[in-house]
Amino acid sequence: MTAQAQSLTRPITFNAARFEPVPFKVYTQRDFDQIVPLAKLSEAQRFEMKVVSSVLPFRVNQYVIDELIDWDNIPADPMFQLTFPQRGMLAPEHFDRIATLLEHGADKKDVDAAVDAVRHELNPHPADQMEMNMPRDEHGNRLEGIQHKYRETVLFFPSQGQTCHSYCTFCFRWAQFVGDKELRIASSEAETLHAYLRHHCEVTDLLFTGGDPMVMKTRHLRDYLEPLLKPEFDHIQTIRIGTKALTFWPHRFLGADDADELIALLERLTEAGKHVALMTHFNHWKELDTEATQAAVRRLRKAGVVIRGQGPLIAHLNDDPDVWARMWKTQVRLGILPYYMFVERDTGARNYFEVPLVRAWEIYRDAMQQVSGLGRTARGPSMSASPGKVEIQGVTEVAGEKVFVLRFIQGRNPDWVQRPFFAKFDPQATWFDHLKPAFGDEKWFWEDEYEAIRDDKLSIES
């Protein structure tokens, strides 16, 4: 039997008592010299990391270093690519600009100014999330920390959850972590959230996101979630929590000081009839292959939590159908529902991670062909663009023209959802904005309405 087959068939055991409290030790850019395995790298490689991490956020913890990274396979190891900065993550001109300043010992003020300029060239808030997604109260004041893009779903960014146990190098919310208050989305007011939900009974799903809400103490999470059990919030049927903790710190659900309180809170919510969904971010089957992660999954499922797995398709890490097929098979075996394959967003280190859309569709198709029906619940490849979530359904030829077949999974107008439309085939396209309507059409079927929605939103902003 192959190693892969053994991994997919070995029994899953769970005993939370075996996982005693483990100290959480984290490293940032200032601590590169303290990360022992980095001594294997050359001085030039470590300097490159310093340059890139001056622009893009870096944070890693001891669990990731010890349990996930194969230090004999550096820099190709996918978990290393997931968490440690690489030179190619910055455009050459950006890298050279920052490197020159650091090499010549430039004044901190000059370095900070250059870093700030580079960051603002990296599209820190894609898909109009700052301009179009933030609602306003009855007095016209923008509600910081809330996004309401789709009718049924509200996103909430609790201020206590605006970091992560480790940072993903591809993260489209990297601007949350760089210390620039103008780029952050966060709210510390539970009452702001609750008041908004009281007045929007069309909302059925509340998504806690960040950062990672699972960095929060349970007592803070309880302040936001327990009030939702009151009858006035009966319209909130689903509570989603976006998290990478099952990869980066599964001990949050096992031996952490308030892990038992967290599990008890989740149990109360599920027993009261709320659908509690942990929206977990997985990019590779290696993340699911540790004993702690599998034990945490079992404990969450026992509490009635539904776990869904999603993540982007990214070069250098998982642009291989066999990786996705093995990951989806492992998720099904563990009781995790494969949910989304995303296209890497047009922000941050996109030039390093992006994959042509046609290749993304081929990878999705080839991976789907390897899994059973239970693994085919993952939708994609999906682009979370400003008009909505656009899925690539295939490549075909219609009336002699080669085209991408697209559809909205979600849209700013629900009437757009599930309507197929077509784009000219472009083998170089890596994002929705690169595509053009097929068959000589000048506009997409939804474009006039979208522009009207956008103009209305932006006129309010101005």
CATH number at residue 368: 3.20.20.70
Nearest to 422 by CA among 390, 449, 389: 390
Ramachandran angles phi, psi of 191, nearest 5°: -65, -30
Last residue within a domain, chosen from 120, 142, 166:
120
- Read off the pLDDT of residues 42-78 as tens digits, 9 standing for 90 and up: 999 999 999 999 999 999 999 999 999 999 999 999 9
Residue of 144 and 225 predicted with greater confidence: 225
Residues 102 and 185 in one domain: no
> Is position 7 within any domain?
no
> Is position 318 within any domain?
yes
Residues 159 and 227 in one domain: yes
Residues 57 and 159 in one domain: no
> Is position 170 within any domain?
yes
> Is position 247 within any domain?
yes
Residue 151 near residue 135 (C-beta atoms within 8 A): no
* Position 12 confidence tier, pLDDT thresholds 50, 70, 90: very low
Residues 347 and 272 in one domain: yes
Round to whole Å and give the CA distance between 90 and 53.
10
211 pLDDT more than 60: yes
Domain span at 71:
23-120
> Is position 365 within any domain?
yes
- Read off the pLDDT of residues 332-374 as tens digits, 9 standing for 90 and up: 999 999 999 999 988 888 889 999 999 999 999 999 999 999 9
Residues 46 and 150 in one domain: no
Residues 85 and 54 in one domain: yes
Residues 114 and 228 in one domain: no
* Position 181 confidence tier, pLDDT thresholds 50, 70, 90: low
Strands 26-28 and 59-61, sheet pairing: antiparallel
Residues 76 and 180 in one domain: no
Residues 110 and 239 in one domain: no
Tokens of 258: 């308030």
| Residue 47 CB neighbour total at 10 angstroms | 16
> Is position 207 within any domain?
yes
For residue 338, what are the β-bridge partners? 309
Last residue within a domain, chosen from 102, 120, 138:
120
3-state secondary structure of 144: coil
> Is position 17 within any domain?
no
| Mean pLDDT across 234-246 | 97
> Is position 412 within any domain?
yes
Which pLDDT score is estimated for 77?
Answer: 97
- Could you give the number of structural domains in the chain? 2
Residues 113 and 184 in one domain: no
Which pLDDT score is estimated for 340?
Answer: 97
286 pLDDT more than 50: yes
| Residue 379 CB neighbour total at 10 angstroms | 17
179 pLDDT more than 70: no
Round to whole Å and give the CA distance between 365 and 80.
27
Last residue within a domain, chosen from 66, 98, 120:
120
Which pLDDT score is estimated for 130?
Answer: 54
Residues 147 and 220 in one domain: yes
Residues 399 and 439 in one domain: yes
- Read off the pLDDT of residues 395-447 as tens digits, 9 standing for 90 and up: 999 999 999 999 999 999 999 999 999 999 999 999 999 999 999 999 999 99
145 pLDDT more than 90: no
Round to whole Å and give the CA distance between 122 and 348.
5
Prediction pTM value: 0.90
- DSSP for 355-388, written as a single string: --HHHHHHHHHHHHTTS-GGGTT-EEEEEE-SSE
Neighbour order of strands in the sheet with 238-243? 146-150, 153-156, 205-208, 238-243, 275-281, 306-313, 337-343, 379-384, 388-398, 401-411, 420-424
